[in-house]
Amino acid sequence: MRLQELGAFTLGWDALQFHQYQIKGAYDFLHATPSISAAYTLRRYRPIVSLATNLFLQWQEGTLSFEVPFLGTRRSSWLDLALTATHISEVTARADLDWTYSDAHQYRFDVAPVEGRVIGLHSDAQSRAMLSDRNLTRVLAYWYQYFGNPPETWSLRSKLAVGTAFGDAASRAFRLDDEPGLLGVRGYAEASEPGRTVLAAGLQFRAPLWWVERGIGTGPLFLQNLNGAAFTDFGLVSGRPAPANCNLQTANSGRPAARVGVGAELRADLIVSHLLPVSLYAGCGFGLNPLWSYRIYFGLSSTMLSGILNSQPATRNSSLPLGLRHLPETY
């Protein structure tokens, strides 16, 4: 466990929420550099237009994205297109296309969705014709299914994600992360070796432990509940176009390299400044393959603040897709 960033941020919007902005300044201990991040979103028209930038001493990045939401009472879907330019020693570019569907539902006194699913398809492409230094196309499909028994408040979530890549840089397209998330296998000290194809799956049971629903006088902090989760994660990366031989003990670049993790997590759901839903979580995962290991993790998640406070290093090195913001925060 170590501090990744230390800094300050601000955000705001107009009365009708047509215009939204976020600005953050911090020192990044992981990369030993100061950083500035900013984002602006225009929601007045269709499609929704967003501009974002991350500025570091070693590299700079800018993203222009377009979002078309199709929102309904019982189900919603989103279509996203993003164009990203990155400068390190030279300028490279990437295009992302995402489709997401959700009919997952979470009711009063639930701490996670208890029915429905979230399905998505992500693709991104880099090409020398687009100023990139490589030819790489990645495709990733994922499915979250939620099982429950309303009005019971427990939730059982299954996860399945499958991805593959094409091009001269495909052998380093995907990694298994060591944090909670779509390609995360908790219980390991660092991310896995990269591979051409990836498979991630898991089960997680989450239930409320204590509904506190108390604040500190009239202060801007309100504790809603404490909840806990037990989980098992599985992940596999391979240099093959399809993982035909799933041998858990092989881990070289040409053969599948699998990880299995189990553990538990404690989470506190809060309301900050009478408006912002924020979750603080801490957990411990145990890696079972190929050698026993453990990892304690903690963090903060918020739908509104995720773009500022949950910027993962894996996103920056292009291991995880950028357009997965429609996944539920309650992984």
Task: Identify the residue whose tokens are 């990366």.
Answer: 237
Pair (29, 142) in one structural domain: no
Pair (152, 237) in one structural domain: yes
Look at residue 155 and tell me if it is in a domain: yes
Look at residue 322 and tell me if it is in a domain: no
Pair (111, 240) in one structural domain: yes
* Residue 81 · residue 99 · CB < 8 Å: no
Look at residue 85 and tell me if it is in a domain: no
* Residue 126 · residue 136 · CB < 8 Å: yes
Pair (161, 251) in one structural domain: yes
Look at residue 180 and tell me if it is in a domain: yes
Which is it for strands 91-102 and 293-301: parallel, antiparallel or unpaired?
unpaired
Pair (142, 230) in one structural domain: yes
SS3 annotation, the chain: CCCCEEEEEEEEECCCCCEEEEEEEEEECCCCEEEEEEEEEECCCCCEEEEEEEEECCCEEEEEEEEEEEECCCCEEEEEEEEEEEECCCEEEEEEEEEEEECCECCCCCCCCCEEEEEEEEEEEECHHHCCCCCEEEEEEEEEEEECCCCCCCEEEEEEEEEEEECCCHHHCECCECCCCCCECCCCCCCCCCECEEEEEEEEEEEEEEEEEEECCCCCEEEEEEEEEEEEEEEEEECCCCCCCCCCCCCCCCCCEEEEEEEEEEEEEEEECCCEEEEEEEEEEEECCCCCEEEEEEEEECCCCHHHHCCCHHHHCCCCCCCCCCCCCCC
pLDDT of residue 246: 47
Pair (64, 170) in one structural domain: no
Look at residue 318 and tell me if it is in a domain: no
- Give the domain CATH number at 122: 2.40.160.50
Instruction: Give the domain extent around 34.
Output: 1-68
Pair (139, 15) in one structural domain: no
Pair (110, 60) in one structural domain: no
Q: Alpha-carbon torsion 319, 323, 327, 329, what sign? A: positive
Domain boundary among 33, 68, 103: 68
Distance CA 299, CA 279 (A): 8
pLDDT of residue 250: 42
Report the number of distinct structural domains present in the chain: 2
Look at residue 137 and tell me if it is in a domain: yes
Residue 48: CB partners within 8 Å, gap ≥ 6? 41, 42, 66, 67, 68, 69
Look at residue 81 and tell me if it is in a domain: no
* Residue 28 · residue 34 · CB < 8 Å: yes
Reported as half-sphere exposure (CB side, CA atoms, 13 A), residue 300 has a value of 18
Look at residue 139 and tell me if it is in a domain: yes
Domain boundary among 68, 99, 124: 68
Distance CA 127, CA 95 (A): 9
Distance CA 173, CA 101 (A): 25
Distance CA 311, CA 307 (A): 6
Pair (61, 185) in one structural domain: no
Q: Which two tokens stand for residue 112?
A: 């996670």
Q: pLDDT tens, position by position, for the chain (331 residues)?
A: 456 778 898 888 899 989 999 899 999 887 788 999 999 999 999 999 999 999 999 889 999 999 999 999 899 999 999 999 998 888 889 999 999 999 999 999 999 999 999 999 999 999 888 777 788 999 999 999 999 999 999 999 999 999 999 998 899 899 999 888 899 999 999 989 999 999 999 999 999 999 999 998 888 899 999 999 999 999 999 986 544 444 444 434 445 679 999 999 999 999 988 888 899 999 999 999 888 999 999 888 876 665 444 343 323 333 444 455 555 554 4
Pair (98, 31) in one structural domain: no
Pair (4, 104) in one structural domain: no
pLDDT of residue 304: 61
Pair (116, 234) in one structural domain: yes
